[in-house]
Structure 1
């Protein structure tokens, strides 16, 4: 396999020690140091960026136990409608190959002092949550439950592990088979706030539903993770202008590029972490203009004066930011 030039974010060349299918169109890759040495540590909920064989940069959760220092395990869903990164990982990456990888980062950290945990996973969104569950070992420090929503048993990653009889009292696996009449009703679980910390990862509609149902919960107790970097492209997206009030900069943001990416392109070092609108690190003051908010963080009363520049765009021709 020909390795493209290494990207600045993925300077750690790891070897694919093992590749195996864990469900239909879902493959796990075990990554190790070529010399067998320990890997940099990571915490539950962490992710790494990798440079796929086609050269694209993709972000994947580490789904193994953080106590394992000799390997990273990532799990990739084959997405035929994506931009080719997952297809390249499935079709071009084999055992023994080198995969340029970043150091671990965590935009979805586990609150270790929580009195209990409620995990809600949709599809491949199980991966960061699985690392959290595995980190508990046999004696978890606090009670936990998992609601795992998938289309069918065939497309359910780690079904044997999570469907084990000893986890029956903790794990609820629900298959919808693509039937809207079989959608799992989360409201009875989320109707009454309690001491649990809620962790949700999965398709955008699932996360938006959980966000809406937990609007009466403490915001500090509800956590989301998404891998839709840049917020994705929508049919009505338009080019718009960004003006920076303090530094005096001005530039256009084209369709398919985030404000954050445009800022960096023009020499501005903006803070960020998840780059998918779920962690709040890139929160920026909005002084003028109407934002098209696409994050999972801002409260309604904050939307006129704040914007998450990693995913959100503009409804007006121009935005003025406090930068």
Structure 2
């Protein structure tokens, strides 16, 4: 994708290494103008140097910001976004972004439990800053592999003394934090959780008996784009007559992008609907979370979905 209308050109004024695999970037408006305000839990969409578009949570309370701060983890199986941010973005780099959006807003309640795993600390840190400013009661449980892999560790402990519980499992599932004591009895407090899939699943499991709406999640990876048993296939572009091969380890969108086709996209995780494309022929393997059943016969989300067997013909 390329971010078109409504994009904000920003310049990176600071890069800071938080851990061996997490870098923090500070962005200001390239033209020196004001940046839109945001609320805790918000994210911005960034066009990375690889042209892959990714969403990153904002750190800070967001009131009249003179800069945006994001933290990016270099993913071992990076599909281009995080790798290009780590390898190509330095102070002075220009990045095109979309204005902040918030799918993970704080509700106004008396008490909060904030749970973070790994890079999921970014929206949680933002929420904690706001709650501390407002004098609200809250506590944080922050799970990582080791102290060295704990972004903002010292800042959190200094800013919120007595409110932060750190837990390091050394990558051993048997040493994962036991959340049952926090959820055994439903409470009036609200819970906000952001982190990797195993953490999310654990919190959902132990909070199933809580009233609806009390436990809130932020997850930028709801869809597994590539799976171990995926196979190569071809897509024919009906309008141009060209054919593009989609490797087993890439999405249709990525294959098109690498072959010079600029098609609209945004989330690149099957949740927003921007890359919806008319399907003219072929048997699709739908992996998105957007399409209605009646749309699936002739529509496909090319950021995540594939061919179930044979090849596909797209109206492109």
Aligned to 2:109: 114
- Higher strand fraction (1 or 2): 2
Inter-CA distance 233–10: structure 2 relative to 1 (3 Å threshold): farther
Cα distance, 1:134 vs structure 2: 1.3
Query: Are residue 202 (structure 1) and residue 195 (structure 2) matched?
Result: yes
Equivalent residues, number: 264
Q: Distance in 2 between matches of 1:100 and 1:263?
A: 19
State whether residues 151 and 175 of structure 1, in contact with CA within 8 Å, keep that contact through their aligned partners in structure 2. yes
**TM-score under structure 2 normalisation?**
0.74
- Residue 12 of structure 1 is aligned with which of 8, 11, 17? 8
Query: Are residue 145 (structure 1) and residue 157 (structure 2) matched?
Result: no
Matches within 5 A, 1:48-63: 48-63=44-59
Unaligned runs of 5+ residues in structure 1 are 240-253, 268-274, 290-308, 318-323
SS at match of 2:101: coil
**TM-score under structure 1 normalisation?**
0.72
State whether residues 36 and 64 of structure 2, in contact with CA within 8 Å, keep that contact through their aligned partners in structure 1. no
State whether residues 44 and 109 of structure 1, in contact with CA within 8 Å, keep that contact through their aligned partners in structure 2. yes
Matches within 5 A, 1:149-298: 149-164=143-158, 167-228=160-221, 230-235=223-228, 256=251, 258=270, 261=273, 264-266=276-278
- Residue 119 of structure 2 is aligned with which of 121, 124, 127? 124
Q: Deviations over 1:48-98 (max 9, x none)?
A: 110111111111000122125211101001113120211110110111111
Inter-CA distance 231–109: structure 2 relative to 1 (3 Å threshold): farther
State whether residues 49 and 88 of structure 2, in contact with CA within 8 Å, keep that contact through their aligned partners in structure 1. yes
- Residue 136 of structure 1 is aligned with which of 122, 127, 131? 131
Q: Distance in 1 between matches of 2:274 and 2:24?
A: 33
State whether residues 38 and 101 of structure 2, in contact with CA within 8 Å, keep that contact through their aligned partners in structure 1. yes
Inter-CA distance 264–216: structure 2 relative to 1 (3 Å threshold): same
- Residue 64 of structure 1 is aligned with which of 60, 67, 85? 60
Alpha-carbon RMSD? 3.3
